[in-house]
């Protein structure tokens, strides 16, 4: 069923009796050409592009819970392509371009809102670093602008510009960055994949892998064995657990990241703002709630909830930047499990097992990557070679010294 | 979280800095180990959901390194040892 303005009016006049479930609920078949493990944003996008762009069929997505119940439904919805390094920026710019055409492409309202993102500057050194990053972005076809203190002040006059420790001296801005309705991304890809014949199988946890003579034959699941010619794993924070079924140890740790929403307020933050020095970032949702967050909790965690010290730290960062936030009440906090990699960058690669492919290591920034990650993973699965924007996201980059470490922190996942 | 320091007693986890898996104690011998084992040591992790032995540094305390055994699902801490003792028991620093 295609959605359109006409359809909404026609349904309104006929008592909304024509709407149907958005996707089927099929039982798993005995065998598929492609099994995608994980029904988050990346898994669903992979299945969608496999069917739509790469003309493949007999595809299933296996999800242990419900579609979109993982990080794709827990993140703070920011999209941007403001990376510095060559391994990253072309990929994230590819993703941003896909976001720009996504709603037309999958015929679903994902509320893609290019409201602009600014990264605040407090020192001359930081201005130099951001100028360099902005130039790197422009060289890769993205947009970037340096804002003066007065320009930032015109946008957000209520910020604490004269904070003694971190006075605001300007910002790096990407106008094409913004936010997207995260659940709608999962639903839109799921619906688009289902319409193209992909079986979306929920409540189906992968509990093992059947591997013989170095080749994958299928996966053991809570709903029995399902055969497959190729298996692609995209399970975010559960990456180490799932890949252990193939005997792999990953360059990854799982950490919890929290997010926060305040009560609804009148509109006063038009775009997205990051205060890196204070470990705080914020945007305002269309319902008026301030959506904000900060650092990961900092130690390995598979608990989908965080601890209080980080809540205090994020609240302090918010108060330092915009004291007005102190008058708002916090409505909700929650957490999601991040697949924090050793250099802060992702992996989209083959494995040592024929027919087994891996997509993960997205850290706290994989939502913006969803379209390109799905596209590039589908490319790898269908063609057995990496997409040109994801060619650097290899397992062996650690062995070869080709890390993509935006922050320069080294093999210390909780610092990326 | 409260970490029951073997010398100082119960301390708030906020006083500590987290490093990661206690397997980092077992650094391969730089003269004899191959590049592959160094790669595994530095970059690859078990990353278990459940019991995890991990290194915490008491930066805002006595500056000791501890090996804390913690459940990564429930955050329950079941044992805390001085990393020095663990390392010596494994034959390091002899
Ligand atoms: C609080 C928070 C804020 C964030 N903010 C941003 C942001 O502003 N911008 C941004 O770009 N990124 C952000 N991120 C990161 C982003 O959400 C993730 O990197 C991204 O969603 C991960 O990919 P995914 O959508 O496929 O993951 P998920 O939605 O987690 O999908 C993985 C799926 O795999 C399933 N699964 C796991 N194990 C199995 C198994 N054995 N069998 C079957 N299925 C399994 C899970 O149930 C889950 O549904 C944030 C994350 C969090 C938690």
d(CA A225, CA A206): 9
CB of A235 closer than 6 angstroms to any ligand 1 atom = yes
Chain A residues with CB under 8 Å of B59 CB are: none
Q: Is A158 on the interface with B (CB under 8 A)?
A: no
* Residue-level pLDDT, tens digit, chain A, 416 residues: 788 999 999 999 999 999 999 999 999 999 999 999 999 999 999 999 999 999 999 999 999 999 999 999 999 999 999 999 999 999 999 999 999 999 999 999 999 999 999 999 999 999 999 999 999 999 999 999 999 999 999 999 999 999 999 999 999 999 999 999 999 999 999 999 999 999 999 999 999 999 999 999 999 999 999 999 999 999 999 999 999 999 999 999 999 999 999 999 999 999 999 999 999 999 999 999 999 999 999 999 999 889 999 999 999 999 999 999 999 999 999 999 999 999 999 999 999 999 999 999 999 999 999 999 999 999 999 999 999 999 999 999 999 999 999 999 999 999 99
If you measure from the C-alpha of residue A137 to the centroid of ligand 1, how many angstroms do you get, rounded to a whole number? 26
A311: enclosing H helix or E strand: helix A308-321
Residue A95: exposure state from Cβ atoms within 10 A (0-12, 13-18, ≥19): buried
Interface test with B, best of A299, A342, A411 (most B CBs within 10 A): A299
pLDDT of residue A410: 94
Chain A residues with CB under 8 Å of B20 CB are: 253, 300, 412-414
If you measure from the C-alpha of residue A236 to the centroid of ligand 1, how many angstroms do you get, rounded to a whole number? 5
Q: What is the CATH number of domain B2-89?
A: 3.30.2270.10
- Phi then psi dihedrals of residue A206, to 5 deg: -80, 120
CB of A62 closer than 6 angstroms to any ligand 1 atom = yes
Q: In this structure, which long-range contacts are made by residues A317-320, counting pairs with CB atoms below 8 Å and at least 24 apart in sequence? A: A317/A275, A317/A278, A317/A279, A317/A280, A318/A280, A318/A282, A318/A292, A320/A160, A320/A163, A320/A165, A320/A166, A320/A275, A320/A278, A320/A280
d(CA B74, CA B49): 10
pLDDT of residue A16: 94
- Residues of chain B under the 50 pLDDT cut: none
CB of A77 closer than 6 angstroms to any ligand 1 atom = yes
Sheet of A289-300: strand order equals: A145-148, A170-174, A117-121, A272-275, A280-284, A289-300, A252-264, A330-341
pLDDT of residue B93: 74
- Phi then psi dihedrals of residue A401, to 5 deg: 75, 25
d(CA A191, CA A204): 18
Domain boundaries, chain B: 2-89
- C-alpha distance from residue A19 to each of A3, A6, A15 (Å): 10, 13, 10
Q: Is A398 on the interface with B (CB under 8 A)?
A: yes
Q: Per the CB < 8 Å rule, is B43 touching A303? A: no
Q: Per the CB < 8 Å rule, is A399 touching B74? A: no
pLDDT of residue A259: 97
d(CA A109, CA A278): 34
Task: For residue A369, give the ligand 1 atom closest to its CA.
Answer: 11
Q: How many CB atoms lie within 10 A of CB A167?
A: 13
Q: Please, which residues bridge with residue A212 across strands?
A: A215
Q: How many CA atoms lie within 13 Å of A203's alpha carbon, on the beta-carbon side?
A: 4
Q: How far is B88 from chain A (nearest CA, A)?
A: 25
pLDDT of residue B94: 65
| pTM exceeds 0.80 | yes
Q: Are A187 and A172 in contact (CB under 8 A)?
A: no
ipTM of predicted assembly, 2 dp? 0.96
Domain boundaries, chain A: 17-77+182-251+344-415, 114-177+253-341
If you measure from the C-alpha of residue A139 to the centroid of ligand 1, how many angstroms do you get, rounded to a whole number? 30
Which residues in A116-132 are b (16+ Cβ under 10 Å) and which e? Answer: bbbbbbbeeebbeebee
pLDDT of residue A2: 81
Q: Is A352 on the interface with B (CB under 8 A)?
A: no
Torsion angle defined by CA atoms of residues A345, A186, B73 and A246, in that order, rounded to the nearest 10 degrees = -60
CATH number of A114-177+253-341: 3.30.43.10, 3.40.190.10, 1.10.3720.10, 3.30.9.10?
3.30.9.10
pLDDT of residue A55: 96
Chain B residues with CB under 8 Å of A302 CB are: 49, 72-73
Top CATH class of A17-77+182-251+344-415 equals alpha beta
């Amino acid at each position: 069923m295609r959605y359109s303005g006409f359809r909404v009016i026609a349904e309104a006049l006929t008592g909304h009796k024509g709407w149907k479930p958005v996707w089927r609920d099929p039982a798993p078949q005995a065998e598929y050409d492609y099994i995608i493990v994980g029904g988050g944003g990346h898994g669903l996008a992979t299945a969608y592009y496999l069917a739509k762009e790469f003309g493949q069929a007999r595809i299933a997505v296996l999800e242990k819970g419900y579609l979109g119940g993982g990080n794709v439904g827990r993140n703070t919805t920011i999209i941007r392509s403001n990376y510095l390094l060559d391994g990253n920026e072309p990929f994230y710019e590819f993703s941003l371009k896909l976001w720009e055409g996504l709603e037309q492409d999958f015929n679903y309202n994902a509320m893609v809102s290019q409201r602009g993102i600014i990264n605040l500057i407090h020192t001359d050194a930081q201005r130099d670093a951001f100028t360099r990053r902005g130039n790197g972005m422009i060289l890769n076809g993205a947009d970037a602008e340096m804002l003066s203190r007065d320009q930032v002040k015109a946008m957000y006059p209520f910020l604490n510009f004269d904070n003694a420790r971190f006075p605001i001296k300007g910002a790096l801005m990407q106008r094409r960055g913004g936010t997207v309705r995260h659940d709608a991304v999962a639903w839109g890809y799921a619906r688009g994949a289902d319409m193209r014949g992909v079986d979306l199988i929920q409540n189906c946890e992968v509990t093992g892998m059947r591997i013989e003579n170095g080749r994958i034959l299928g996966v053991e699941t809570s709903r029995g064995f399902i055969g497959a010619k190729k298996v692609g794993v995209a399970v975010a924070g559960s990456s180490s657990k799932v890949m252990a079924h193939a005997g792999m140890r990953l360059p990854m740790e799982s950490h919890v990241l929290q997010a926060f929403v305040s009560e609804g307020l009148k509109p006063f933050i038009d775009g997205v703002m990051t205060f890196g020095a204070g470990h705080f970032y914020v945007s305002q949702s269309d319902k008026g709630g301030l959506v904000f967050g900060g650092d990961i909790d900092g130690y390995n965690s598979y608990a989908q909830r965080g601890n209080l010290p980080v809540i205090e730290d994020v609240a302090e960062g918010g108060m330092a930047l915009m004291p007005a936030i102190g008058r708002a009440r916090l409505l909700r906090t929650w957490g999601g499990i991040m697949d924090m990699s050793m250099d802060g960058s992702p992996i989209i690669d083959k494995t040592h097992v024929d027919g087994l492919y891996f997509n993960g290591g997205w850290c706290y920034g994989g939502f913006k990557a969803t379209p390109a990650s799905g596209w590039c993973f589908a490319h790898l699965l269908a063609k057995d070679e990496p997409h040109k924007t994801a060619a650097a996201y290899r397992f062996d980059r650690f062995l070869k010294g080709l890390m993509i470490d935006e922050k320069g922190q080294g093999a210390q996942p909780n610092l990326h | 979280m409260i970490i029951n320091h073997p010398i100082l007693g119960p301390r708030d986890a906020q006083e500590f800095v987290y490093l990661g898996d206690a397997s980092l104690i077992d650094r391969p011998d730089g003269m004899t180990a191959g590049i592959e084992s160094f790669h595994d040591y530095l970059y690859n992790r078990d990353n278990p959901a459940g019991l995890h032995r991990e290194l915490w540094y008491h930066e805002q305390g006595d500056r000791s390194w501890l090996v804390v055994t913690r459940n990564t699902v429930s955050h329950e801490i079941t044992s805390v040892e001085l990393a020095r003792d663990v390392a010596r028991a494994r034959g390091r620093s002899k």
